Amino acid sequence: MIKVGIIGGAGYTGGELLRLLVNHPAAQIDFVHSNSQKGLPVTSVHKDLKGDIDLSFTQEKIPESIDVLFLCMGHGKSKDYLSSHRLPMKAKVIDLSHDFRLVQTGNPFVYGLPELNREEIKKAEKTANPGCFATTIQLALLPLAHHQLINEEIHVHAITGSTGAGARLLSTTQFSWRQNNLSVYKAFEHQHLAEIRQSLEQASKEELPGINFIPVRGDFTKGVFCTAYTRVDESLEQLQKLYGEFYHEHPFTVLSTTEISLKEVINTNKCFLYLQYHDGKLLITSILDNLIKGASGQAVQNMNLMFGLAEDTGLRLKASGF
């Protein structure tokens, strides 16, 4: 069994990790850290886990027996934690913040998008899990980048649920503000743009045109619904073939031949894609659950790869459907 520790287990991504790992056939949750909930039962926060887990949140030293440590803290806190805490010698690390996603000198983390870096992840000791918007947009565009078909600006519009902002109470996550409401934020300058460009240029091996990204806060809790378009001089049939071949060996990215809707992927580790062609422009719809394929599910997918397990172990999940 893979002995698991979670740092920051009281938040949304920590909670989703717990829900996935309690039923994972090769994982054993041994350590759940929280600064805010020290000493309280895990089920006092994640109430749906009653009967599944009897651990309490702790601030104690990480046990030497831990095989993998998931970092589920706010952005900027993972670097601080790793610089101030000694980790078990054998522990691999999967970070769910944006602290280590960008390739730079001295960064030992592999970027954890399996559809791009599967072989590197298998050999990694430290993996940086991608962001939810970044995952949605990259999976929409990677086949184009791989075939060097991105020659003009890309236009992206993506709407995310309130859980994308984390569990901390904000004015824009309160029910009275969020319900029946929409708003744009960080237009053209969202923090995920850097990792999106990094991955697409890795795949294309060339510098790409601009990416015009408009993020939107949605009036729902989970999911990312993304549309992206750019001019491409290929037929729809040829593009469908390219996408199908690119994702053929990746179990969680699925090309649909019919229109898709967000509930089809909620509570799953899947990303669904749908292609349309209009007057020389390719329109890609890309959807996923921001807390699963966009965060904790992808982190478990990376754990599976890092420990030599089948990539989909513990991740064949049922969509909400309704």
Q: Say how far apart CA 191 and CA 305 lie, in whole Å.
A: 27
Q: Which long-range contacts (CB under 8 A, 24 or more apart) does 170-175 make?
A: 172/217
Starting at the edge strand that comes first in sequence, how are the strands of the sheet with 211-217 ordered? 183-184, 211-217, 154-160, 224-231, 281-288, 271-278, 253-256
Phi, psi dihedral angles at 235 (to 5 degrees): -75, 160
Tokens of 58: 């702790």
Tell me which of 72, 132, 226, 271 is the catalytic residue.
Answer: 132
H or E element at residue 213 = strand 211-217
Is-contact 154 209, C-beta < 8 A?
yes
132 is catalytic: yes
HSE, side-chain direction, 13 A CA sphere, residue 235: 3
What residues act catalytically? 132
